[in-house]
Structure 1
Amino acid sequence: MLILGLTGGIATGKSTVSRFLSDQYHIPVIDADKIAREVVEPGTSAYQTIVEHFKPLIPELTDSLKEDAPLNRAALGAYVFTHKEDLKKLNSITHPAIRKKILYLLLKNYLSKEPVVILDIPLLFESGMDWLCSRTLTISCDPKHQLNRLLERNKELSETQATDRINSQMQLAEKIKLSDYSIANDGSLEDLNRKLDEFVHQNLPALKVNQNCGWSYTISRCWNCFQVMFPPFAIIGAVCALARKKFNKSYA
């Protein structure tokens, strides 16, 4: 299974790219932002820990009149953006739960024999999750376009606040340098879709494993059925594959 790590800067068009690849080519997408929202929903252990730590610091974190009210993510984000130690605390609460869910979904897609899976993580390199990926793709755009898109999307931000958020992330040039592939999203939606079609046709077919190859296919199918029947072996197999990938990257 090919794991394509998708990243980029804020407001560069990552969601548009993942949606196109999912709709047009039926490639499963594991969305880290979506998972990050799910793991802090009311009733989760992460939610409880966040409320206990941050509620005294951020009174508007939740509606005090409602038990298990959803987190005010805007208030939480604004606070940790200017309090770096509390940002580390928040990450220490949420990141383990996010990683656990990502690994679960990767294993689920592996057992489903998906040839390609997109791992959409905005902070792919910053979080160190790129070692999970077979290949990485960065979506970039001109800084002026990026700022205008962010201001259009988040109308509550001033230009200074939007610029600060962009500058708080790893520079796009550095992400491009670390990536296997990059696509510039400076034109129209049609232009972006054309580039994505070219990317898929030029790269993904050559990277897919041919699953219909005689005895190797039969053995693969038998091993897959065995892992479905005995989940511990599936977990061991997935962990070994990830460890082997990390080893190969370290000594490449």
Structure 2
Amino acid sequence: MLFIGLTGSIATGKSTVSSILSSAPYSLPIIDADVLARKVVEPGTSGYHAIVKHFGPTTPDLLEAPSESMPEHGVDGKGRPLNRPALGRRVFGDGEERKRDRGVLNGIVHPAVRREIALDRLCGVVVVVAVRDPEVQMRRLTDRDAHLTPDDARNRVASQMDVRLKARRCEARGADRGVVVWNDGSRDELKANIDAAMAQVQRGSPGWWNVLLLLCPPLAVAAGAWNFWRNVRINKAWAAQELQEKAKL
């Protein structure tokens, strides 16, 4: 069985690509890291309580306001849901305080982050959804989240690794290990790019090989170990290259 790691950056189209891949003709099972990250901070969870404890005293609008549909203590008394725009304003930005707060938040949602790190090392192929034009990413973000100001949107984009750098890292894995799906155009263009990407993935992992792995569990374990070892080497090589490039500046 081939594990495909799907990643990208904010407002590049990961959810759209995930939806297409989970539908016919691909019908792939999807593990969405974004969904996992939301689940670990739902009302009643330990992550939710940790966020409320740390950010609540200094962020008055941290929770959604009470209403007829949302009681003071939330549904089933677990607490009102997080006001994500308010939390975003608290943690996204370039200042030292924002960076510290973002570090705290990342530490709280660390279980989901650990899953993403593990997948990065176990995946046979990594697919990055990217855009070439930064303005496309900004426009999609502000269209999607109308409550964001231009500064809010820029801060959220800047808080993540540049998606074009992610694409370069993906391509550095080799044609059989990393695939970039460019998503600057229409949905039809995106579907065509996905079809081309999946054809590339299938060439590197033919159906007979996947059947063989299912029929021979020891071989599947060995293949998984090989993937893990090779991905660790790829990541180390990229990190060394980044250091060399920084040294030239």
**TM-score scaled by length of structure 2:** 0.73
Cα distance, 1:157 vs. partner? 1.7
Q: 1:77 to 1:241 in 2, by over 3 A?
A: farther
- 5+ residue gaps in structure 2? 67-71, 171-177, 235-249
Moved more, 196-205 or 35-44: 196-205
User: 94, 103, 116: which is aligned to 2:109?
Assistant: 94
User: 66, 69, 89: which is aligned to 2:80?
Assistant: 69
Say which structure, 1 or 2, has more relative contact order (CA 8 Å, 6+ apart).
1
Are residue 85 (structure 1) and residue 100 (structure 2) matched? yes
Correspondence 1:130-145 to 2 at 5 A: 130-141=120-131, 142-145=133-136
Are residue 30 (structure 1) and residue 31 (structure 2) matched? yes
Correspondence 1:180-195 to 2 at 5 A: 180-195=178-193
- 5+ residue gaps in structure 1? 103-123, 224-236
Q: CA RMSD in A?
A: 2.8
**TM-score scaled by length of structure 1:** 0.72
- SS of the aligned residue for 1:183 comes to strand
- Equivalent residue number for residue 13 of structure 2: 13
Alignment deviations for residues 151-188 of structure 1 (CA, whole Å, 9 cap, x no partner): 21111122233223222221222111111111211221
- SS of the aligned residue for 2:58 comes to coil
Letter in 1 for 2:127: L
Are residue 177 (structure 1) and residue 188 (structure 2) matched? no
The answer to whether the 8 A contact 1:140-1:184 is kept is yes
Letter in 2 for 1:247: W
- Equivalent residue number for residue 43 of structure 1: 44
Q: 1:218 to 1:12 in 2, by over 3 A?
A: closer
Alignment deviations for residues 198-234 of structure 1 (CA, whole Å, 9 cap, x no partner): 2212322541563545xx76554xx8xxxxxxxxxxx
Moved more, 14-23 or 65-74: 65-74
Percent of aligned pairs with the same residue?
A: 39
The answer to whether the 8 A contact 1:2-1:208 is kept is no
The answer to whether the 8 A contact 1:9-1:139 is kept is yes
User: 139, 145, 149: which is aligned to 1:158?
Assistant: 149
Cα distance, 1:132 vs. partner? 3.2
Q: 1:212 to 1:94 in 2, by over 3 A?
A: closer
Q: 1:151 to 1:175 in 2, by over 3 A?
A: same
The answer to whether the 8 A contact 2:7-2:127 is kept is yes
Cα distance, 1:143 vs. partner? 1.6
Alignment deviations for residues 36-76 of structure 1 (CA, whole Å, 9 cap, x no partner): 11111112111122212211121222258324111112211
Q: 1:92 to 1:199 in 2, by over 3 A?
A: same
Q: Distance in 1 between matches of 2:13 and 2:2?
A: 22
The answer to whether the 8 A contact 1:60-1:72 is kept is yes
Cα distance, 1:99 vs. partner? 4.8
Moved more, 197-206 or 45-54: 197-206
Alignment deviations for residues 99-144 of structure 1 (CA, whole Å, 9 cap, x no partner): 56x4xxxxxxxxxxxxxxxxxxxxx6xx686223222111122222
Letter in 2 for 1:162: A
- SS of the aligned residue for 1:2 comes to coil
Q: Distance in 2 between matches of 1:218 and 1:184?
A: 35
- SS of the aligned residue for 1:7 comes to strand
